Amino acid sequence: MAFWNQSDTGNKGLEDCLYKFYTLCAWFVKKNLGYWRILLLKRGKGLITRMN
């Protein structure tokens, strides 16, 4: 039982870390949305040009 309990707490810790990471990423992306949009548009246009 001790092993399973440790495993559960380990997974909980990992989930918390991932949640915090995703929250931080979401905040960062929202903060720099204009910049990311321009970057993606430029990158997208470059990819489309290469494909054609």
What pLDDT, in 10s, does the model give residues 1-52? Answer: 455 555 556 677 888 888 999 999 889 888 888 887 888 888 877 766 666 5
Tokens of residue 26, six digits = 């979401």
> What CA–CA distances, in Å, run from 24 to 2, 19, 31, 38?
33, 9, 10, 21
Q: What is the pLDDT of residue 9?
A: 60
User: Domain residue spans in the chain?
Assistant: 22-52
User: What pLDDT shows up at residue 43?
Assistant: 81
Provide the pLDDT for residue 1: 44
pLDDT, position 23: 92
Q: Would you state the pLDDT for residue 38?
A: 85
